[in-house]
Amino acid sequence: MSKSGFPENFLWGGATAANQYEGGYLSGGKGLSTLDAITGGSPAKPRMITYKTKDGKIETCARDQALPEGAVGYVDPDQYYPSHVATDFYNHYKEDIALFAEMGFKCFRLSIAWSRICPKGTMEINEEGLAFYDKVFDELLKYGIEPVVTINHFDIPMYLADELDGWSNRKVIDYFLFFCETLFKRYKNKVKYWMTFNEINFLRSWTQIGIHKNDKQAKYQAAHHLFVASAKAVKLGHEINPDFQIGMMVAYIPSYPMSCKPEDVMEAIKFNREQEFYIDVQVKGYYPAHKLKEYERENVVIQKEAGDDEIIREGTVDYIGFSYYMSTVSASNPDQVKYVGGNQMPAVKNPHLQESEWGWAVDPLGLRISLCKLYDRYNVPLFVVENGFGAVDKIEADGTIQDDYRIDYFSKHIAAMKEAVELDGVDLIGYTPWGCIDVVSSGTGEMKKRYGFIHVDMDDEGHGTLNRSRKQSFYWYKQLIAANGEQEK
């Protein structure tokens, strides 16, 4: 243990996702992904799916709505799709990794585009796609940066969505396992840290998992297939390389009761259970009793094959990766409270907290609370794999970006994280703040909502040079990593 409280081998780094950062749309043999048919948007204008109906008519619907039966994703040449170029890691990976190394990164979290490796998501391999990630991992390792790989991050090959109805179809488990086996064998000496699915509790529609129905039966059946696939992947990965550390990833938003009124406390319990359900299955290895009771009440019947429960029990993960951006509040009278924006959902306003420009509650202590809750409940290593502050950055006349607001956000959250390690004894692997370089916003599809330490010249309509430049926070984070999290009082 260093004097800062963080272990000497603590993994400081940053996080991205292929569909928001990589670009390279259809380059090098890549196939279509569901997110390739999702338009840009804004807080006032939802991102849309473009699709074709059974009779060939081109239509659109909001990103989290269900597509009509028989509809297929469609890339309209008259629309702008942020994922197609994103911020172009595909052509800038050497430059970007050099900048990460300059900051002193110990690790870099990225996702692998399934349709770059298996263009249709089936058992056909695109060697050019594998070679691209070989080059990325070699470049990272050249600088001593540990790759942290999310196997699937918020999308599915479009063919599997359109032809098989995505994760509602059990066949997709086998295709995913083929994808995992390909990765595990190819990169077994280059990658140690893996996560199966990004924010598994937010996988709910055609956009993320290819399903055409969004009712509870459809979503929870798909979730069961995801659980089985994840458990099988964990077991397979450990067989290929026993040194692999394979985790899960959840969006963790702790909810506080609006008051000490027992009804408010019960509502907070219900809210937190919805996130913890996904962790329970993947860490404890079984469905919690409250979820089974919910299934009974809601007439949800999960179709299982013989051995599924044993697979889930045997395929528990090595660690919990989670995103933390905000907290929320639960109230027994939801029609009488104020709401603000939130991460993938509306959130009840906490009168004790300020919000970002996008309505996200800024709650550094909530990160310590989350770490304590998760470690007390599960007693496995934790990894904060997303945390960050979206804001509009101003470029000064001299070209600098003075993002003190971002530095203030990170400084307070890292201080809270340090307390969780130093005072509460939480076993924490590392910290990879979201969008260490500017990426397309997942929620709104914007570029002006920026998270990065590195600015990328690109606007909301896809115009710009893609030139990279360092923000003030770049130099701050570099110093923080060099001091292993120690900050001046």
Say if domain 11-37+80-483 classifies as CATH 3.90.1150.10. no
Marked catalytic residue, from 139, 267, 276, 386: 386
Q: Give the C-alpha separation, 343 to 326, whole Å.
A: 8
* Catalytic-residue membership of 8: no
The domain locations on the chain are: 11-37+80-483
**For 350-407, what is each residue's pLDDT tens digit?**
999 998 888 889 999 999 999 999 999 999 999 999 999 999 999 999 999 999 999 9
Q: What confidence score (pLDDT) does residue 451 get?
A: 97
Over residues 45-57, the mean pLDDT reads 95
Q: What confidence score (pLDDT) does residue 345 get?
A: 64
Indicate whether 71 pLDDT > 90.
yes
Indicate whether 269 pLDDT > 80.
yes
Q: How confident is the model at residue 349 (pLDDT cuts 50, 70, 90)?
A: confident
Over residues 319-348, the mean pLDDT reads 83
Over residues 155-162, the mean pLDDT reads 98
Q: How confident is the model at residue 334 (pLDDT cuts 50, 70, 90)?
A: confident
Indicate whether 4 pLDDT > 70.
no
Percent of the chain with pLDDT over 70: 98
Between 47 and 357, where is the model more confident? 47
Chain mean pLDDT for the chain: 96
Q: How confident is the model at residue 348 (pLDDT cuts 50, 70, 90)?
A: confident
What is the CB neighbour count within 10 angstroms for residue 252?
28
Q: What confidence score (pLDDT) does residue 395 get?
A: 97
Q: Are 249 and 197 in contact (CB under 8 A)?
A: yes
Tokens of 115: 């349709």
Tokens of 223: 């979730």
What is the CB neighbour count within 10 angstroms for residue 131?
12
Tokens of 95: 């430059």
What is the DSSP pairing of strand 319-323 with strand 245-251? parallel
Nearest to 32 by CA among 73, 69, 87, 3: 73
Element holding 195 (H helix, E strand)? strand 193-197
**For 73-101, what is each residue's pLDDT tens digit?**
999 999 999 999 999 999 999 999 999 99
Q: Give the C-alpha separation, 196 to 231, whole Å.
A: 9
**For 109-143, what is each residue's pLDDT tens digit?**
999 999 999 999 999 999 999 999 999 999 999 99
Indicate whether 344 pLDDT > 70.
no
Q: Are 156 and 176 in contact (CB under 8 A)?
A: no
Indicate whether 63 pLDDT > 70.
yes
For CA atoms 152, 16, 61, 82, the dihedral sign is negative
Q: Give the C-alpha separation, 60 to 51, whole Å.
A: 6
Indicate whether 203 pLDDT > 70.
yes
Q: How confident is the model at residue 1 (pLDDT cuts 50, 70, 90)?
A: very low
pTM of the model: 0.96
Over residues 33-47, the mean pLDDT reads 94
DSSP, collapsed to helix, strand or coil, labels residue 88 as coil
What is the CB neighbour count within 10 angstroms for residue 224?
19
Q: What confidence score (pLDDT) does residue 356 get?
A: 86
